[in-house]
Copies of this chain bind each other. A is one copy, B any other.
Amino acid sequence: MAKKKAGVAAVNQEVLGAIKTSAQDIHRKIVARKKPTMKFPVRSLANVKYRPDRGYFEIAGQKKERTLTVNTVKTFAQTLRMIALSKELVENDDIATKREAYYVSKNWEDARFNEQPESDTVMDDVEAFFSVNREQLGFIPEEKGGDVAGRLIVIDHDRDTGKTLRIDCTKFGSGAYSIPISVERLEFETSAAFILVIETAGMFQRLVKHNYWKQANCILVSMGGVPTRACRRFIRRLADFKKIPVYVFVDGDPYGITNIYRTLKVGSGNAAHLNEFFCVPQATFLGITPQDIVDYKLPTHPLKDVDVKRARDAIKNDPFIRHHKEWVKAIEQLLQMEVRAEQQALAKHGLNYVIETYLPEKLAHPERFLP
């Protein structure tokens, strides 16, 4: 418990230290009658590199400078106020969504934001400036998402009493643990062999209903579509902490592969300053693979135009897909077969075929999973 408290404090102290240093720097320049300056990494696809060794899209060296002048005074002031709000949040163990931060600014008089996109941009700048993720600054996303069941104890604490809470994810019956919006302070205990990450709520519910995590000794995580930041960060922290692999089970279609899986594993282009925190490099692709459609004689749907476009795009432009020959081959196979298959298509062979046959057969050979 003492260790935990110290851990929480350490994260906070680091952020608070960085905030104070930058504020003192600006203050010193003003007192010395010099123009204060802040440098932000440029956040755009053009300033991004794919780093196969690190496993994520990384922001390159380009920076933009914001110097205090007559033209920048309002944005400069807004940036400082946003940093001050972050300091207040961290000190008080509080949180604010982007939207709340926008409304808080309504009391900043001349520094108030007129529209939320303006305050979002400043928040993104601040996040990139400190090279931390927003959640560490006390800013949280609007959206929630991600459910967990199985061999995992999440360790949280009661805000009022400081008491440690041990949340046992084997004890929720047909329900699950819902991942909070900010997961930075959670700790974990688990003896699970792997994390099974599932696209659809329906498939997750089936595996939960049948206590599949017992049989497979694993942790089940439901993404419910494209995973939210909180869900990705939760999986990443858990996988890092316990050094266990992450197997991803999604629909066998271009959306499941290039949007859901790729976003989970290496992040996305337009948030490259964040991928370091939100990617899950230890993820591999269990299925549904294009070859599964053949091997398991799955019922299919024809590829839609949007699927074809997405698949061709990935082969041509996605640095992650292009880096992995196996992925290019798999997507070409899908294009050539002109079909896609949903993970629930396994129900053709019986509702619990997925539990009794498909997953055990696949899990016997994780070395064959797509990268």
A363 within 8 A of B: no
Smallest CB gap from A147: residue in B? B178
Q: How large is the interface on A (under 10, 10 to 19, 20 to 34, 35 or more residues)?
A: 35 or more
Question: By the criterion CB–CB under 8 Å, are B144 and A201 in contact?
Answer: yes
From 112 to 165 in chain A, residues with beta carbon under 8 angstroms from any chain B beta carbon are: 140-144, 147, 154, 156-160, 165
Question: By the criterion CB–CB under 8 Å, are B172 and A142 in contact?
Answer: no
Question: By the criterion CB–CB under 8 Å, are A172 and B182 in contact?
Answer: no
Question: By the criterion CB–CB under 8 Å, are A142 and B175 in contact?
Answer: no
User: Could you say how many copies of this chain the assembly holds?
Assistant: 2
Complex Cα distance, B228 from A53, in Å, reads 42
Complex Cα distance, B158 from A172, in Å, reads 8
- Could you name 6 residue pairs across A and B whose Cβ atoms are closer than 8 Å? A100-B206, A107-B348, A142-B201, A156-B174, A159-B210, A167-B171
A83 within 8 A of B: no
Contact of A209 among B94, B103, B104, B177 (CB under 8 A): B94
Residue among A176, A180, A224 with the most chain B CB within 10 A? A180
Question: By the criterion CB–CB under 8 Å, are A144 and B222 in contact?
Answer: yes
Smallest CB gap from A205: residue in B? B181
Residues of B within 8 A of A160 (CB): 211, 214
Residue among A103, A104, A159 with the most chain B CB within 10 A? A103
With A140-B202, A160-B214 given, is the CB distance from A177 to B177 under 8 Å?
Answer: yes
Residues of B within 8 A of A142 (CB): 200-202
| Top-3 shortest CB links A-B | A156-B173, A144-B201, A178-B178
Question: By the criterion CB–CB under 8 Å, are A205 and B165 in contact?
Answer: no
With A99-B342, A165-B171, A342-B99 given, is the CB distance from A178 to B177 under 8 Å?
Answer: yes
In the assembled complex, how far is the CB of residue A346 from the closest CB belonging to chain B, in whole angstroms?
8
